[in-house]
A and B are shown apart, each in its own frame.
Chain A
């Protein structure tokens, strides 16, 4: 994985609460056996009408959304299905970070493993971001900080190990495989076997 340390981008705002992973990528796009090209399916049924025509006033279809790499969403983003296709689709579409007051557990885990930075902010910061779409944010993964246009700095929580892996570009499977001696010992010494 490529190291991710620091980036700047404008935001696009989707204020709806409880955006589930079925909305991020509907199930009918999950029949793929690869992870490439899923950006086309991102928010498909919000971007396109049933007849395939573009829904012009959906925020991702507006010219202001062009080039925005940070998605600000309502609380409890990514609830529902464990499909990793959700962060894959967001990344493939061009997003590098998602921001909310609350991010669902499995979606957050999946995002961190793919280099999509899940950022949980306090209610006041969130409210400011919702009210000011398109502002430029500076995200520093090394310091776990978000810098607002006025220079204000917001710290965000991120698991130390996940951050280390992101910043150093370390594959978590590689780390896990380094524990193989311990895993073998566990299997040999446990009091019962499954």
Chain B
């Protein structure tokens, strides 16, 4: 590898099957294709219509997460709770995977979960891989030094049929994070602050590399939260160079390499970092020491404010006014007085064990406020099991929260878990778009600790007074 290349360029060039030219995009090889029930049925229909096979089922990992129920049903076959459309989609996924010879981590599997949670959990997500999925939050897997990005359903068909994609090379953006996050401030606050800084289109056309002491200090789950929301800044992908934490995380997982393969993989992974003299198309810097808990106040993830700071006034902009009208929020004062109806802890952003532990630490021995409904949805069935081993389910139940089966759930409300019209939700998910969590739902994005503190207070709340 020539000196002066970025982590992104190293992974990219390692996967170029046919180089790009002025006339044609590159043919890029895909090492891991994650699929789920929502963005694949039309791709399988296309394969069927053209008489094509899934070329590499061995490089395809399938699960069901978006349309699936999170209620603890007596039998997973009992899908009535999610509605006819979602139930049909789930059945179709089972049929398609069977017909095309793809292993499905379906309802019978103890490894089922949100696609971006189980990839790393199983060790299928590895440094240096190219990973795609018909889901924009595929950027999550970049936390391992993989090049991972979301694609549409047509491209899902391309990967199923050829294991390749036609791609133009994106630009690069380095985000240097100095310092360390203070107590009560976590990686969710960091990525919200970054999106607030560069805007929801600040990363368009770019792959972000997050680096610096503030990133090195994060554990793998916290890094996944950061990379997960790269798409919320418009970026194609987010990446973090693998280090000892990455290797320790992957050691011994079901799909991690074994024996001599593991040793070879580790020595390959240790070279996966940007060279000191590598040039990025753009750079930005942020100081983690200066951060506080962050929340959103508007209808996109770039409308961000510190928990105790007044909502800024940008009312000359009609889109800004429209957002605040929708949110029924006024400018000039903090959101901390705002009444909360729903608290959601979950989603591919914040449903891992450490996220649940952070929420449980705030809730332990306390009761959520009257009139607040709190839903805790683990990211996978494995996380559910691990959390129950630690007694987190009992802490949530004692506080008055609902403990659910894994899935995407109230992040996008496809499975019937929705926020009511006009209700205010403090949510650990990734999108506060109009109607995202339900028709007329008003979403405030926050960390698991801020979400838990808000459930206790019944108002949007700073978690720091609740820390032990």
Binding site for B on A (CB under 8 A): 15-18, 20, 22-23, 26-28, 30-35, 45, 50, 74-76, 79-84, 102, 104-106, 109-110, 113-114, 159-161, 164, 172-173, 175-177, 179-180, 182-183, 186-187, 190, 192, 194
Contact = CB atoms under 8 A, between A and B. Distances in A.
Contacts of A17: 317, 319
Given A159-B168, A177-B161, A194-B59, A186 B155 contact: no
A18 to B, nearest CB: 5
Contacts of A30: 38, 66, 414
Nearest to B300: A18
A84 B439 contact: no
A109 B412 CA distance: 23
Interface in B161-205: 161-166, 168, 170, 200-201, 204-205
Interface of B: 14, 17-18, 22-25, 27, 29, 31-32, 38-39, 41-42, 45-46, 50, 59, 66-67, 83, 85-86, 88-89, 92, 126, 129, 134-136, 150-155, 157-158, 161-166, 168, 170, 200-201, 204-205, 231-232, 234, 236, 264-265, 268, 300, 302, 317-319, 322, 412-414, 421, 431, 433-436, 439-440
Contacts of A104: 201, 204, 234
Nearest to A107: B152
A176 B158 contact: yes
Given A22-B436, A32-B85, A186 B136 contact: no
Nearest to B317: A17
A20 B431 contact: yes
A23 B154 contact: no
Given A31-B83, A31-B85, A172 B414 contact: no
A51 to B, nearest CB: 10
A183 to B, nearest CB: 6
A189 B16 CA distance: 12
Q: Closest 5 interchain pairs by CB?
A: A31-B85, A194-B31, A33-B41, A110-B152, A84-B152
B162 A23 contact: no
Contacts of A80: 136, 231-232, 431, 433
Contacts of B204: 76, 102, 104-105
A192 B129 CA distance: 10
A176 B164 contact: yes
A17 B314 CA distance: 14
A23 B234 contact: no
26 contacts: A15-B319, A16-B322, A17-B317, A18-B200, A23-B434, A30-B38, A31-B414, A33-B45, A34-B42, A45-B434, A79-B234, A80-B136, A81-B136, A82-B135, A82-B152, A110-B152, A113-B154, A161-B24, A161-B166, A173-B154, A176-B161, A176-B166, A179-B27, A182-B17, A182-B27, A186-B17
Nearest to B430: A80
Contact of A179 (B17, B317, B318, B414): B17
A32 to B, nearest CB: 7
Contacts of A84: 39, 42, 134, 152-154
A106 B152 contact: yes
B398 to A, nearest CB: 32
B89 A192 contact: no
For A35, A81, A187, A194, the residue with the greatest tally of chain B CB atoms inside 10 Å of its CB is A194
A27 B412 contact: yes
Contact of A173 (B31, B45, B157, B170): B157
Nearest to B302: A18
Contacts of A106: 136, 150-152
A23 B18 CA distance: 37
A109 B155 contact: yes
Contacts of A105: 170, 204-205, 234, 236
For A31, A159, A192, the residue with the greatest tally of chain B CB atoms inside 10 Å of its CB is A31
Contacts of B38: 30-31, 83
Contacts of A175: 166
A27 B236 contact: no
Contacts of B134: 82, 84
Contacts of B322: 16
A33 B89 CA distance: 6
Given A18-B302, A20-B300, A161-B23, 11 more contacts: A16-B319, A18-B200, A22-B435, A28-B413, A32-B85, A33-B41, A173-B154, A176-B166, A179-B18, A183-B164, A194-B129
A18 B319 contact: yes
Contacts of A74: 319
A31 B89 contact: yes
Contacts of A34: 41-42, 45
A79 B199 CA distance: 12
A102 B202 CA distance: 11
Nearest to B440: A50
Nearest to A74: B319
